[in-house]
Chain A
């Protein structure tokens, strides 16, 4: 089943001609109307006329996360307030988050990309899709919601949390598909068994659209065997609009719609292209994005690319499973967490010192984030309740800043390891 067979099965050469046309238009638009891109292209000594073939994309300068941060909140936007219809916000490394604006066309493109993707996973009007990604500023919830609504499915917008309630609704409302992080689905599986419910036997669930955090082929096998569903990988980041691309029923790589994005895999150090199938940093140009243009954006995710036509008949290139991050960003239950954010928050709390340690673990299949922090000697009290209050306050402040639940352990002054040079404050005990 295709959502748009004409585009999805388009001959490769034709697709590349289309990509070239879109790229050329994009470059002219940016050079003419975006002060930022104009300056960048001047600095790189490239003019839109220099882009004569699709491979000339390499003449264009790269764009990094810091470019978005430095231009907070909307200095890179190419749409007026009248044309903007939505903002999404993702957590940033320090104080300010990254802001993504959308025009009506941007939302439409995003929705269509997901409508194609969900159709390629075998979903359609008869399906009941439970969207268990967070709704709101995070792109996962509303993104999948719009995609699922577009294909005519019945959408249950459960958002995150309330696991027992989620399982009851899955069972009672006959959900056939669920969208969430793979670790949350494993957690649901465990919670269901505690409730005496087997997802495999007692529900109609047959498809999982899983992503927002890295997972492995082994995890897929476990989820599929245990829960009796087909588990598909979904990919996207908020800068690109949100979750956008999934595997098809072949489960052999994530289809990146070529009319939507031009994909490169580069060596993170040199920026040079790596060969087909080789691992490198995912770099994308979103060809039709209006409000926040994304050109050669170095996403930081490590993956490889496959150009062979897929057995499903779709001609668009595929990327393989994400195997890691170029930088030190942690992904906790689908939320990006930077150690610097934790540092930043703790700095603002007078009762605790600046020494801390982050321990990431997987408990009951869910990522658990523990922050151990030293209490300042002057804040120490022999009343347990006072210490509990400090602990709760720190957990609350961290939780609010990171938008994930944080466990806090108070440590004695001087007990946590000190570092000279680059601190190694993160202990990641999760087994992939």
Chain B
């Protein structure tokens, strides 16, 4: 089933011509952003230099750090009054990255999600429970608008209260869910405890964090769903960049909206099909915030270009890792630099801290060990509690996640020579 069969199955010269036209438009649109005007000027590249799709290599890369420099509106190519929505995503330090959307962007985005959901077999009459954060996180409203466009019945349950989520699945006869794969594992566990069979469920769309084939098998067995991997990043629109079709062998890129390259993270050189590297995306239809060759930090590879039995185009493999140190905690992107930024701005934090990530009951838990600062110790237990609470709340404010803060004696934590490695990820792959 297709939502937009012509676009989804466009091939060969027709696709190439469309992508080239849209790439040229994007370069022009990006030129309205002072950052790009300067960058393109320095590189002496303009729309006229983009004559074939391969010419994309002439364009400069955009990094996450570049976006930080543009905070808040430096990357908008349209006046603010034409911006209908703002989402934010974690930045590399204290300030978030702002992403703007025009009305056209919002409708483009909803269509891409409608393609995702139609591709995995959903349509009118299906009841879709959207169990991810709403609000500034793009996962919630993104899938919500797409599902609504298709005429699905949407249960905007957002996150939290797993028992209630399960009751709703049973009471509303929910047929499809969207959440992180780790939350889905947790859901399966709690459903088991409650003796809930979740009989009506048939499709699970899982994304926002990497997961394995083993997890897919487990989720399909325990939830009774067909499980599909969904990929997106907020700097584009959000979810709706690529998704698996029922073949479950790679994610189809929505090739009319995103131009994907795989490059060597060290050299920036283009890599061919089958070669692992960092995914670089140039959006082709983004109005409010066009980007050129955005370095996603996600490691994947282009799959050999043979026609998928579903008839859609180019696929990437499932995400294999990160080329930088970004962490994904309960579906939220966290940079170690953000954590440092928060902790070192608090006087109660002593010389060192360590961050540990564990998976407990299928959920990511972040523990922060902080050395006490001698000069702020009052001798009272309740003041220590206050310090704990203050640190946890500062981290919650910036990272958007709950953490468990432990105070330790000064000198207990490791000291580093050279580059400090203060984050220890003990989660392993999601199995």
Do the two chains touch directly in the complex (Cβ atoms below 8 Å apart)?
yes
Chain A contacts to B: CB under 8 angstroms: 72-74, 81-82, 84-89, 99, 101, 104, 107, 125-126, 128, 135-137, 141-142, 145, 149, 152-159, 162-165, 168-169, 172-174, 400, 403
Is residue B141 contacting chain A, with contact meaning CB distance below 8 A? yes
A154 to chain B, nearest CB (A): 5
Contact B86 A155 (CB under 8 A): yes
**B87 touches which of A137, A145, A157, A172 (Cβ 8 Å):** A157
Contact B135 A154 (CB under 8 A): no
B131 to chain A, nearest CB (A): 10
Contact B155 A87 (CB under 8 A): yes
**B84 touches which of A81, A154, A164 (Cβ 8 Å):** A154
| Alpha-carbon distance A99/B135, docked complex (angstroms) | 22
Is residue B377 contacting chain A, with contact meaning CB distance below 8 A? no
A257 to chain B, nearest CB (A): 23
6 pairs, CB–CB < 8 Å, chain A vs chain B: A82-B124, A87-B156, A126-B81, A137-B157, A145-B141, A172-B71
Given contacts A154-B81, A172-B72, contact A403 B125 (CB under 8 A): no
A100 to chain B, nearest CB (A): 11
Contact A135 B135 (CB under 8 A): yes
Contact A85 B152 (CB under 8 A): yes
> Ordered nearest first, which 10 A-B pairs have the shortest CB separation?
A159-B135, A136-B158, A135-B134, A84-B153, A172-B72, A154-B83, A135-B135, A73-B171, A156-B86, A87-B155
Contact A73 B135 (CB under 8 A): no
Q: Which residues of A contact B98 (CB under 8 A)?
A: 173
Stretch from B19-27, B210-218, B303-311, B396-404 at the A interface? B396-404
Q: Which residues of B contact A107 (CB under 8 A)?
A: 148
Q: Which residues of A contact B72 (CB under 8 A)?
A: 172-173
Size category, B interface: 35 or more
Q: Which residues of A contact B153 (CB under 8 A)?
A: 81, 84-87, 101
Contact B134 A157 (CB under 8 A): yes
Contact B125 A400 (CB under 8 A): no
Q: Which residues of A contact B127 (CB under 8 A)?
A: 81, 84
Is residue B88 contacting chain A, with contact meaning CB distance below 8 A? yes
Contact B148 A86 (CB under 8 A): yes
Is residue B161 contacting chain A, with contact meaning CB distance below 8 A? yes
| Alpha-carbon distance A153/B96, docked complex (angstroms) | 22
Contact A403 B86 (CB under 8 A): no
| B233-251 Cβ-contact flags toward A at 8 Å (1 or 0) | 0000000000000000000
Contact B86 A173 (CB under 8 A): yes
**A157 touches which of B135, B152, B155, B161 (Cβ 8 Å):** B135
CB-CB nearest in chain A for B147: A85
CB-CB nearest in chain B for A79: B153
Given contacts A82-B124, A84-B153, A154-B86, contact A400 B171 (CB under 8 A): no
| Alpha-carbon distance A163/B393, docked complex (angstroms) | 10
| B248-277 Cβ-contact flags toward A at 8 Å (1 or 0) | 000000000000000000000000000000
B366-403 contacts to A, CB under 8 A, are 396-398, 400
| Alpha-carbon distance A156/B398, docked complex (angstroms) | 17
CB-CB nearest in chain A for B127: A81
Contact B398 A135 (CB under 8 A): no
Given contacts A158-B136, A159-B136, contact A137 B85 (CB under 8 A): no
CB-CB nearest in chain A for B174: A87
**B134 touches which of A86, A142, A164 (Cβ 8 Å):** A142
| Alpha-carbon distance A421/B381, docked complex (angstroms) | 42
Contact A82 B83 (CB under 8 A): no
| Alpha-carbon distance A88/B144, docked complex (angstroms) | 13
